[in-house]
Chain A
């Protein structure tokens, strides 16, 4: 590895490995054997070929903000950290695209685009840290995906290093590349197809104006009914984000925004677009909130008030420490939007059943819930409760017609749910697709599919539970 990337770009000391043993899903931990920091596609090719010759597993890592254990190198091996491939290679406003290396942090691109009045639309809450390469791996969402779509809707092309060292360019800045949509297939494959070494992204013109409202509700039902009614009325807001009472108390303790601490829920409701007609849309939303017994509807009247509201939303996770638990696990279920009231009641009942602290901050407009289960990871009983409560909530999401992950990915965390969502025939076909890219299963092993890798029958390796093993 040192011959390929230079000694200064290789870490091997056990203490250094500790920083790479897990991501935001702290329940699953495995130390890599070595961490390398390539700075070019050629170096990635060299690393991957060396791994292939030696029969060693490898995994690409961005900023390690995955909440599903996507950055856990199951079974050890070579961690390919892409944080030093962080150049924005091209910005082309007239043709509405940019070319970036995978280690570019999401918000850097949007910051670079500010002078032009454009932005990169997918905006995960972790956008200040997470990388575009990581976003491509997990097909990340964010608050504004409600109107603008998720990562895959904004990716025009990728350059990928396949596990055998081949470099393939899929798509690119021109639309409608003939043949299979390899780009769309690679986005969201959680690094199991290869290592994306360059990304062509679509740029989006900034909206001319915004209206950002904060609905304050005495019950969660009133809040979720408001969301359901807004969508049902044919309004497409830019974002609809719900924060519950527990979450509000943490955010308030950290930022002192003046949120009402006795409210059961607040909903950030944003519409954007052309100034003409925007106020009408905001008024309709306010009326819907009031019909659903909103106690109060506040309005951000300046850009700084709007930014403050979004800061509260996007940095909410960072304030959870205020609630006094050393660890938390963020879940990522999806239900049809009209089922939000049901799933929220279920989540609160689950918290009571397991006597767990759960707070909620999520993309309500998409039906994408993020219950945050708070615990102490040093206590195996609490860890077990978190796993069981998560299981109950996600199983209920499936029962309501939804999914176990809207934007975080399956990773190692949710592998056991795949057979609940998909038949063995479905999973077998997924295994076949993976084998087209990654026949030996050495690239990001133990992820996404309940098989160790290669072409094994899914059922034969269902017992492989890295997350559980690491946890208990």
Chain B
């Protein structure tokens, strides 16, 4: 126990406990459950904005001391780590073997793997590489009974038992505290390229169709307005009412060069201007990712659309920061005030009590509530943060 406290939304100050072993953590969960209190797991505390306000007193469990690499058989392209490892430390370890986890996470020096999984972080690379759910082979977590259980395994293919890795990814820590994770990793690409260009709102649909049908195979297609370029300090900003498109290629050198040439050719007759190749690829994508938690935005929301609807949906938007994973159909919209129908990632706490923060409700939410009630009947884990009331 420490004198540290943490406030989540408008919660009372929650005492922060920092378990130094899984058994410590198990005891904390058992104690909290016995006392009818909540467990609020935290890692780097980089995305605490996401979710509804806590509804129960309890403790914040800081997982950052459980941050060891357990096993890294690099030739098998898998790694097993404790969930409190930071994304930066994990990537550094993988880089020693020429490998990486192709997932974009905000503030990677602070953010933990467990936290990134709980909020299902992703960014520009998701177009070519998928999301965290595609990389988690196995997982251990502490249940409401204060015992550690595991699912999956340490091999790249395994269908024995239920896939709790999927259920925990994006569950906002409401079904247990993730302790260990086995990941599938990728070889680092030999070469990178980044093309940027601009187009008007009227041409956007045509340009996105071109990128979708291109003979080149980009792994990233990002879309930014001038406010987003400015907020992210990105080079080649557009003027108002214009879009910047940023396209990334990652592969073998010859393959990357061919793709750049091919796309440049395809763009020659397209309604775009100021086509340029930038040579600082990794910094560019990191800055776009970081926009997801842009400090100056008091509201940040997300729309998930069909990719073909994106251009239409972006018409007549207010002059606020907007960026999109264009071929995934995902739009990020910032602003001073919450916008209904968006999935809200950050907003003032008062608004969380009046606006439905997960967008339009669907029939699946009843089943989700039922799963939560079955797996955490005492409502120990992050009470209130996913469901308005149980």
List residues of A whose CB falls within 8 A of some B CB.
92, 94-96, 138-139, 141, 145, 149-150, 152-153, 162, 166-170, 173-185, 187-189, 205, 208, 228, 231-232, 234-236, 273-278, 280-281, 334-338, 363, 366-368, 401-410, 414, 417-418, 421-423, 425-430, 432-437, 448-449
Sampled A-B contacts (26; CB under 8 Å): A94-B307, A170-B364, A173-B306, A175-B304, A176-B304, A179-B364, A180-B371, A181-B170, A182-B368, A183-B166, A276-B258, A277-B251, A277-B258, A363-B157, A366-B156, A367-B76, A367-B157, A401-B153, A402-B154, A403-B155, A406-B155, A407-B159, A409-B159, A418-B160, A423-B150, A432-B374
The one of A153, A187, A335, A367 that contacts B134, using a Cβ cutoff of 8 Å = A153
Chain B contacts with A in 338-381, Cβ cutoff 8 A: 343, 358-359, 362-368, 370-371, 373-375
Say yes or no: B374 contacts A336, CB within 8 Å: no
In the complex, what's the smallest C-beta–C-beta distance from A333 to chain B, in angstroms? Answer: 10
Q: Check if B244 is an interface residue, CB within 8 A of chain A.
A: no
Going nearest first, the 4 A-B pairs with the smallest beta carbon separation are A184-B166, A276-B258, A234-B187, A277-B254
Question: How many angstroms between the C-alpha atoms of A187 and B162 in the bound complex?
Answer: 9
Q: Specify which of A174, A185, A436 is in contact with B166 (CB 8 Å cutoff).
A: A185
Closest to A97 in B: B306
Give the CA-CA distance A280 to B254 in the complex, in Å.
9
Chain B residues lying within 8 Å of A363, measured Cβ to Cβ, are: 157
Asked whether, in the complex, the Cβ of B386 is within 8 Å of the Cβ of A405, the reply is no
The reply to whether A401 and B154 form a contact with Cβ atoms under 8 Å apart is yes
Which residues of B have CB within 8 Å of A280?
Answer: 252, 254
Contact A95 B159 (CB under 8 A): no
In the bound complex, how far is the Cα of B375 from the Cα of A437, in angstroms? 12
Other A-B pairs, 20, CB within 8 Å; known A94-B209, A180-B167, A367-B157 = A95-B329, A173-B306, A174-B304, A177-B304, A179-B358, A179-B364, A185-B163, A232-B74, A234-B188, A276-B257, A277-B258, A336-B76, A363-B157, A402-B158, A403-B155, A406-B159, A407-B159, A429-B164, A433-B371, A436-B370
Q: Which residue of A lies closest to B151 (CB)?
A: A426
A429 to B164, CA, bound (A): 10
Q: Is the CB of B375 within 8 A of A432?
A: yes
Residues facing A in B151-193 (CB within 8 A) are 151, 153-167, 169-171, 175, 186-188
CB–CB A429/B143 < 8 A: yes
In the assembled complex, the Cα of A138 lies from the Cα of B98 at a distance in Å of 33
Please state if B157 and A407 are interface contacts (CB–CB under 8 Å).
yes
**B267: Cβ under 8 A from any A Cβ:** no
Q: How far is the CB of B162 from chain A (nearest CB, A)?
A: 5
State whether A236 touches B187 (Cβ < 8 A). Answer: yes
Which of A149, A153, A405 sits near B159, CB closer than 8 Å? A405
B217 touches A (CB below 8 Å): yes
Q: How far is the CA of A264 from the CA of B171 in the complex (A)?
A: 49
CB–CB A169/B306 < 8 A: no
Please give, as numbers and ranges, the residues of chain B lying within 8 Å of A336 by CB-CB distance.
Answer: 73, 76, 78, 154-155
Residue of A336, A366, A414, A417 most packed against chain B (CB within 10 A): A336
**Which of chain A's residues have a CB closer than 8 A to the CB of B304?**
174-177
Chain B residues near A183 (CB-CB < 8 A): 166
Q: Looking at B163, B358, B373, B375, which has the most chain A CB atoms within 10 Å of its CB?
A: B163
Q: Does B46 contact A (CB under 8 A)?
A: no
Which of under 10, 10 to 19, 20 to 34, or 35 or more describes the interface residues of B?
Answer: 35 or more
* B interface list, Cβ under 8 A from A: 73-78, 98-99, 120, 122, 130, 133-134, 143, 147-151, 153-167, 169-171, 175, 186-188, 209, 212, 215-217, 251-255, 257-259, 302, 304-308, 328-330, 343, 358-359, 362-368, 370-371, 373-375, 386
How far is B178's CA from A37's CA once the two chains are assembled, in angstroms?
42
Bound CA span A153–B166, Å:
11
Is A422 touching B330 in the complex (CB atoms < 8 A)? no
A275 to B257: give the CA distance in the assembly, Å. Answer: 12
Task: Indicate the member of A169, A235, A423, A436 with the most B CB atoms within 10 Å.
Answer: A436
A178 with B75: CB separation less than 8 A: no
- Nearest Cβ distance between residue B219 and chain A, in whole angstroms? 12
CB-CB < 8 A to B150: which residues of A?
A: 422-423, 426
Do A184 and B163 have beta carbons less than 8 Å apart? yes
Question: Using Cβ atoms and an 8 Å threshold, which residues of chain B touch A170?
Answer: 364, 367
Closest chain-B Cβ to A204's Cβ sits at a distance in Å of 11
Q: How far is the CA of A188 from the CA of B158 in the complex (A)?
A: 10
A150 cross-chain contacts in B, Cβ below 8 A: 157, 159
Q: Report if A94-B212 is in contact (Cβ < 8 Å); known contacts: A402-B153, A422-B150.
A: yes
- How far apart sit A418 and B155, CA to CA, in the bound complex (Å)? 16
> Could you say which residues of chain A place their CB within 8 Å of the CB of B75?
228, 231-232, 337-338
CB of A276 within 8 A of CB of B364, answer: no
Among candidates B253, B307, B375, residue contacting A95 with C-beta atoms closer than 8 Å = B307
The answer to whether B133 and A181 have CB atoms under 8 Å apart is yes
Chain A residue with minimal CB distance to B328? A175
Q: Which residue of A lies closest to B308 (CB)?
A: A94
CB contacts (< 8 Å) of A435 on chain B: these are 374
| Cα A189 to Cα B371 with chains together (Å) | 15
B363 partner, pick from A168, A236, A449, beta carbons under 8 A: A168
Q: Are B252 and A436 in contact (CB under 8 A)?
A: no
Which residues of the other chain, A, contact B366 by a CB distance below 8 angstroms?
A: 168
Q: Which residues of A contact B302 (CB under 8 A)?
A: 176
